[in-house]
Amino acid sequence: MNNSESPAVASGLAWFKSSYSGAEGGQCVEVAAGTGAVHIRDSKAMAGPVIHVSREAWAGFVGEA
């Protein structure tokens, strides 16, 4: 896992939030698929830090969830 990506680089990605997230915000994360990684950020702090993991690691996480 790497969380050193700058928010500026991550801003060019297409971010997605769960359809279960309401308009009131809540405790949500957003996910974006990049060229070699999946990027994850807090939906309430879009300019904050971004974590990125390999596509394989994300698939494993989703498979276990």
**25-57 pLDDT tens trace:** 667 889 999 888 999 998 888 888 999 999 999
Smallest CA-to-CA distance from 61 within 44, 43, 30, 38 is with: 38
pLDDT of residue 8: 47
**pTM for the full model?**
0.71
pLDDT of residue 43: 84
SS (H, E, C) 12-59: CCCCEECCCCCCCCCCCEEEEECCCEEEEEECCCCCCCEEEEEHHHHH
